[in-house]
Amino acid sequence: MNTLEPLRRFVRDVTDCVSESGDERVLIAGVRPLLERLIHRDAWLPESCARPHPLHYRQYLLHCDPLERFSVVSFVWGPGQRTPIHDHTVWGLVGMLRGAELCQPYAPDAQGWMKALGSPHTLHPGEIEAVSPTLGDVHTVANAVPGKVSISIHVYGANIGAVRRHVYLEAKALDCSGPGGGTAGTGGTGGPDNAGLSTGGRGEPRLRPFISGYSSTTVPNLWDRSGDQRTQAPEVRGA
Ligand SMILES: [Fe+2]
């Protein structure tokens, strides 16, 4: 079997889902078991889409629907790497492939400042988390495994690298010497970081627009099925 067959099958099945419904609840319910099956094994993920960066987490585009109804991305977290507080503005499912992630949801307080909502939780291999503007859309994510790389597979209801989103400043960050820093941010070509956040007026959310982009300029070739075809017809050779 071609190594990429699990990803190809996932792309085919999610394409069916988005062709049958545009309803967020229906899509999340329909895509979740498909993502569960995809992350059950990880031998399919190309090494080129599993490489960490020494400073910043990576987001490699694995596939984007031609009509931009969904995209599939591998997020690769180096040791100690994390995101700033950010939103997605579309539905998304995050499936843990290797290692673990620490996820902390956020919600605005009465003054519009983002505050941690409950305790952070850990996502382990095989587990899936949903995000969306209706389910809860603002969070931070961090590599939960000291000294090791973690990888999660994300599917979003849009071409996520081109979606206009936001990065938020937490109220307590005002007391620090400055926002950002550490190993947070810059997950894509112009990924989220805390620099340039607007402090706004009284009562306004403190946020900055951002468009994440991707860390890669190519996608895996899902469609070279010649090996399978030649196995079935060994008398046929390539040019
Ligand atoms: Fe996120």
- Provide CB contacts within 8 A for 223, sequence distance 6+: 8
Tokens of 100: 């673990």
Place of tokens 């620099």: 195
Cα(58) to ligand 1 centroid in Å equals 13
Q: Which of 209, 165, 162, 164 is nearest to 65 (CA)?
A: 162
Instruction: Report the pLDDT value the prediction gives residue 178, as an integer from 0 to 100.
Output: 35
Examine residue 63 and state whether it is found in any structural domain, yes or no. Answer: yes
pLDDT in tens, 114-170: 999 999 999 999 999 999 999 999 999 999 999 999 999 999 999 999 999 999 987
Residue 227 lies in a domain: no
- The answer to whether position 223 is within a domain reads no
Domain contains 133: yes
220 within some domain: no
- Can you give the residue range of the structural domain that contains 24? 5-215
pTM: 0.86
* Strand spans (E) along 109-201: 114-116, 121-123, 128-131, 139-143, 150-156, 165-168
The Å distance, Cα 15 to ligand 1 centre, comes to 22
Using alpha carbons, select from 31, 25, 32, 94 the residue that is nearest to residue 65. Answer: 31
pLDDT digits (tens, 9 = 90+) for 9-31: 999 999 999 999 999 999 999 99
- Cα of 72 vs centre of ligand 1, distance in Å, is 13
User: Domain for residue 113, yes or no?
Assistant: yes
* Residue 125 belongs to domain with CATH number: 2.60.120.10
* Total domains in the fold of the chain: 1
221 in a domain, yes or no? no
Has residue 33 been placed in a domain?
Answer: yes
Compute the distance between CA of residue 3 and CA of residue 119 in angstroms, rounded to an integer.
Answer: 38
Q: Which residues have a Cβ under 8 Å from the Cβ of 172 and sit 6 or more positions away? A: none
